[in-house]
Chains A and B, each alone.
Chain A
Amino acid sequence: MIDTDVLIVGAGPTGLFCAHQLGIIGLKCEIVDNLDKLGGQCIELYPDKPIYDIPAIPECTGEELTNNLIEQIKPFNFKSHLSDRVQEIKNENDRWLVKTSKGKEFLTTNIIIAGGVGSFEPRKFPTKNCEKFEGKSVLYSIKDKTIFKGKSVVIFGGGDSALDWAIELSKNSKVTLIHRRDEFRGAGASVEKLYELKKEKKLDVLTKFSIKDVKGNGTLESVEIKGDDGEIRSINADYVLGFFGLIMQLGPILDWGLNIDKKLIPVNTENFETNKKGIFAIGDICFYPGKLKLILSGFHEGALAARGCFKYSRPNEKYKLEFTTTSKAVKDRLGVKE
């Protein structure tokens, strides 16, 4: 069990800068994010896209912004818990007991939700029947490739994940790669390799087809696919893999008893607290009159939420504003030598 002042849910720019503000005022925090790296949308969706409206930074990319924020919070040595997701929260004596999907537990005075539009999850097949086999024979990621040995594997998708796994698994399995159009967005060399393997009959490639249904009684037997021209085919399959990239979903946050309106959490603008005491929401996920979905607004919201947390974590102390330019205490926290 990790004991902390604040648990930040979401490691996008807003969550990272909020951690900085918590560090400045002397609170401890831990950061959880479902992605395998810090940076949120900035790093996952647009690492190379220039951003022009960060105060005092005329131009920077999503990746540069993330790297700078990571650098800025380094002095505080906060711990981040990546590829993990906050699953359950429970109130215990005015503090929050938090469990993640990987089974980590936190006891925290405050939770700050900086979840953006939600956590990144793999996009799933639209076909209802796929749910019956999900996790067993219908998969969206691969943990152990040995299970496919000698099996028929049907892979859907046109990006690098789909191509790489088709090529890799074709060594030991009967692989069919299916994509909805002729062009693949994966790396050129992989596409060449794919068609080479197809020519050698090491795997099969079908384009302009998409999934229609999966069949099987208890265990998966076949997958039905539909062509652009209406043609329907059935392919024997022990496993069906889908690689359609990531989508953002609110997930378990919906079950925490928070007021939520159109995927947004209403907050007050004094400290960005939600309807639950000690739970704050900042960045794209929060809503209040005049809300702007800008990174700079998220920074401001994080600064105020941090002060809100201070009140609960240090009930006997009065918060007083200290400047990084002058405060000895703040400089000590930053590890700056005079």
Chain B
Amino acid sequence: MAKIKYIEHNGNQHEIDVANGLSVMEGAVQNDVPGIDADCGGGMACATCHVYVKEDWFNKLPEKAEGEDDMLDQAYEPSSNSRLSCQIIVSDELNGLVVHLPEKQV
């Protein structure tokens, strides 16, 4: 279990307990956090669960999945600290993770 903080583009914060094994995307969708669309359902086939992770946490996350960067090219305003939240799997180590949501997904 890890406490994940989702910060919307307008500053609204949502602190959610997410069970291990779920993705950060699923943690948001299952708890009605707005701002993550996840159109393809977690197949890394779209780029609508895009989040920004500040450097301190970005470097602690498991490596990007193969092809994740290719998909991120197609996200709205990707940057060097962009991730697809469907590819970040929650574990105890991620307790306290903060992700920032983009202005929009599409």
Contact = CB atoms under 8 A, between A and B. Distances in A.
Interface stretch (A69-77, A106-114, A241-249): A241-249
B1 interface: no
Given A45-B40, A126-B77, A247 B69 contact: no
A185 interface: yes
A245 B76 contact: no
Contacts of A151: none
A200 to B, nearest CB: 26
B45 A247 contact: no
Contact of B106 (A46, A183, A247, A293): A247
Contacts of B87: none
A197 interface: no
Contact of A180 (B39, B41, B43, B78): B78
Nearest to A246: B74
A117 B45 CA distance: 13
A47 to B, nearest CB: 10
Contacts of B106: 123, 247-249
A159 interface: yes
Most chain A C-beta atoms within 10 Å of own C-beta, residue among B39, B41, B47, B79: B39
A228 B41 CA distance: 30
A181 B80 CA distance: 8
B50 to A, nearest CB: 11
B48 interface: yes
Interface in A226-264: 228, 244-249
B70 interface: yes
Given A158-B73, A159-B70, A185-B70, A248 B46 contact: yes
A157 interface: yes
Given A41-B40, A247-B106, A249-B106, A180 B45 contact: no
Nearest to B70: A185
Given A41-B40, A45-B40, A46-B45, A244 B74 contact: yes
A45 B45 contact: yes
Contacts of A208: 80
Given A180-B78, A228-B80, A293-B41, A247 B46 contact: yes
A249 B69 CA distance: 22
B76 A123 contact: yes
A113 to B, nearest CB: 17
Interface in B27-71: 39-41, 43, 45-48, 69-70
A180 B46 contact: no
Contacts of A117: 39
Nearest to B40: A45
A338 B45 CA distance: 44
A46 B39 CA distance: 13
Most chain B C-beta atoms within 10 Å of own C-beta, residue among A117, A126, A157, A249: A117
Interface in A134-190: 157-159, 179-181, 183, 185
Interface in A41-90: 41, 45-46, 49
Contacts of B43: 45-46, 49
Given A123-B76, A126-B76, A180-B78, A45 B70 contact: no
Contacts of A45: 40, 43, 45-46
A69 B67 CA distance: 29
A249 B74 CA distance: 14
Nearest to A121: B106
Nearest to B76: A126
Contact of B39 (A158, A245, A248): A248
Interface of A: 41, 45-46, 49, 117, 123, 126, 157-159, 179-181, 183, 185, 208, 210, 228, 244-249, 293
20 contacts: A41-B40, A45-B43, A45-B45, A46-B43, A49-B45, A117-B39, A123-B74, A123-B76, A123-B106, A126-B76, A126-B77, A158-B73, A183-B69, A185-B70, A208-B80, A210-B77, A228-B79, A244-B73, A245-B73, A247-B48
